[in-house]
Amino acid sequence: MQTPPPQTPAAALWRMREYMRPYYLTLALMITAAIVAVTAETMIPLITKSVIDGAIAHGSRRELLPLGLAATALGALQAGLNFYRRWSLAGAVNGMEKTIRGDLYHHLQQLDPGFHDSWQSGQLLSRATNDLSTIRRFAGFGTVFFITSTWTFLLIVALLIDMNWWLGLLTGCLFAPVGVLCLRFEKKYRVLSRQYQDQTGDLATYVEEAAAGIRVLKSLGRRDEAAARHLGLSRLVYRSQVGKARLRGTFWAGLDLAPNAAIGLLLLLGALAVSWHQLTLGGLVAFVTLTLLLIWPIEAMGFIIATGQEAATAAQRIYEIFDTAPAITDPDVPEDPQPSITAARARKAAGKKTQASTGSIAGRPATAPPASPAAATARTGHLRFDAVTFSYPQAPEPVLRGITLDLAPGETVALVGATGSGKSTLLQLVPRLADAASGLITLDGADIRDLPLPELRARVGCAFEDPTLFSASVRENVSFGVRDATEADVLAALQAAQAEFVADLPWGLDTRIGEQGMALSGGQRQRVALARAILARPEVLLLDDPLSALDVHTEAKVTAALADVMADSTALVVAHRPSTVLLADRVALLADGVIAAIGTHHELLATQARYRALMSADDLGGSDDDGRNAPGLAGART
């Protein structure tokens, strides 16, 4: 995985302009409308000047009506253009945010599991939500305010100089210190913005972890400690927010002081200019009114800089993800599907027709759907590991060192080893959830790195010890990898996985099982995940101790059903129990990062003392691979 090069927040924000390209015409019309609206507002004081110096000074009532109508028309024009600006702006910036969010999600899906293991989920969540909203607000209002404020300032100063050159120049110079104040504010606010956004991500991570691990916190009586940690993180966010507010308040107070102090001085000097006949009374009123119109552009600079810095740091954080190149990608030139793949697809289709003949779960024998004729003739799924080596980042020693293993089509091999020996890691290399550092893994003679990822993962099915289920119905979870699965297909897969409990759920297959399947016990979650793997009918089936949460009686039933299922696939099974090992044609003992021995269960019992010790251990469960996958709490129900 390539680390993105560092870039400044301003550079990251500038890159975001690519997402506004589809809306350039809308933005141009919107900015034009904003400038015309500001110009219309600026013309109203000039009409006031004409009313005072013309109609009132000369007592000409005939001029009042057209001047009044002109002022009203300008006000109506300003209101209409501002409405159009806000309406068109909403569509453009929300469309931009939607596009960025879609691209960000797509890119996160392309990144390998190693990336997600190294990033806190809360940091990713805050970037996909808060940071995108910050960029949208700046794109929608900050940029418009900057353009209109700059135009307003230049236009008004030009009009003031036209009325009285020395008084107009003096007015422009009085606002010069504001630029220095803005630069100082920008440097300090940039640091606080990044600090606040990172702390928000840390807080989101902890809240998510606490919610997911609520059973652990409660069972261990750590509620007070968890609350204290949450309070500590919340205080950090609070202090950063207060620090930002204090800095903004000081800055905006300075911006308020500058124009108000300038108006006091201009009133005095303007009165002198009237007395010297260098300015008319109406001109003085218009001069002061135009100067008052400068207050908002000056104050808007504070908002623009604040939101701009927040948006720049948000863009920097988002591009930290976008600039991370996926470590696992499709080949540059995907190969044509091989005949074995076509045969596998035919086997799947024939298998679905066979499954359709099965009935409901309850009252059926615990057997998998019979294999189709295509499965009997097309023996695919030849899986081979050739001198495969793998290391985790920053790990002192490789987890796997020169693994060589050959699985014939239709063969089942049990992988046995102590906790941390690398069994789960070896399984993850097959669907390319991680890539080997060296060596070769082939499927039917083709290097798996030369196969398109969708094709490879359609041919390889997985069921892990700690199953991941989604906040959806049982039906959706089981058919997650097979979009066109029928209800009969789903029922047959659940039957094979001995998941009869689904029939007793309140709404059967349509029962929603909650986030991470927490509405189910540990054993129930494992059986639903196993049914998902079975339904895919893959050429290669990878099972990572999928029966660890089952009781002895349920395990026996599932084991019997798996024997029929695995007869139609090449299977590599991580096993901790003798009952699971007996499913295999051969057993591979993984120790010290290598295949230490391979043979039948009885052969290894007779010749390998280490294997005998593993098979006789009282508790062989738990996580693998140096504790990278922490075990969850197994439910009491099965």
Q: 448-474, pLDDT tens digit by residue?
A: 999 998 899 889 988 877 778 888 888
| Single-letter code of the amino acid located at 479 | S
On the CB side of 374, CA atoms within 13 Å amount to: 18
| Single-letter code of the amino acid located at 64 | L
Examine the pLDDT at 34 and tell me if it is beyond 70: yes
What pLDDT, on the 0 to 100 scale, is given for residue 367? 34
Q: Is residue 604 part of a domain?
A: yes
Mean pLDDT, residues 467-491 taken together: 85
Mean pLDDT, residues 586-605 taken together: 91
Instruction: Please indicate, yes or no, whether residues 276 and 357 belong to a single structural domain of this protein.
Output: no
Instruction: Walk across the sheet containing 586-591 and list its strands.
Output: 460-463, 540-544, 570-574, 412-417, 586-591, 594-599
Instruction: Please indicate, yes or no, whether residues 446 and 520 belong to a single structural domain of this protein.
Output: yes
Instruction: Please indicate, yes or no, whether residues 278 and 361 belong to a single structural domain of this protein.
Output: no
| Integer Cα distance of 549 and 467 in angstroms | 11
The per-residue pLDDT of the chain, averaged, comes to 79
Highest mean pLDDT among 423-432, 490-499, 573-582: 423-432
What pLDDT, on the 0 to 100 scale, is given for residue 192? 82
| Integer Cα distance of 375 and 344 in angstroms | 8
Strands 412-417 and 570-574, by their bridges, are parallel
How far lies 361's CA from each of 367, 496, 503, in Å?
A: 11, 9, 7
Q: 145-187, pLDDT tens digit by residue?
A: 888 888 888 888 888 888 888 888 887 777 666 766 776 776 7
Instruction: Please indicate, yes or no, whether residues 130 and 166 belong to a single structural domain of this protein.
Output: yes
Examine the pLDDT at 229 and tell me if it is beyond 90: no
Beta pairing partners, 447 = 442
Instruction: Please indicate, yes or no, whether residues 294 and 391 belong to a single structural domain of this protein.
Output: no
Instruction: Please indicate, yes or no, whether residues 277 and 392 belong to a single structural domain of this protein.
Output: no
Instruction: Please indicate, yes or no, whether residues 416 and 509 belong to a single structural domain of this protein.
Output: yes
Task: Return the DSSP state at 325.
Answer: B
What pLDDT, on the 0 to 100 scale, is given for residue 119? 84
Q: Is residue 219 part of a domain?
A: no
Ordered alpha helix ranges (H), 111-222: 113-118, 121-126, 132-137, 143-163, 165-174, 177-212, 214-219
Tell me the residue range of the domain where 191 lies. 9-200+243-322
- CATH number assigned to the domain comprising residue 311: 1.20.1560.10
Q: Is residue 638 part of a domain?
A: no
Q: Is residue 110 part of a domain?
A: yes
- CATH number assigned to the domain comprising residue 429: 3.40.50.300
Q: Is residue 606 part of a domain?
A: yes
The residue to which tokens 């009374």 are assigned: 281
Q: Is residue 233 part of a domain?
A: no
Instruction: Please indicate, yes or no, whether residues 347 and 286 belong to a single structural domain of this protein.
Output: no
What pLDDT, on the 0 to 100 scale, is given for residue 183? 67
Instruction: Please indicate, yes or no, whether residues 174 and 316 belong to a single structural domain of this protein.
Output: yes
Q: Give the count of domains, the chain.
A: 2
Q: Is residue 212 part of a domain?
A: no
Q: Is residue 312 part of a domain?
A: yes
| Single-letter code of the amino acid located at 248 | R
pLDDT band at 626 (very low <50, low <70, confident <90, very high): very low
Strand segments, DSSP code E, in 464-593 are 540-544, 570-574, 586-591
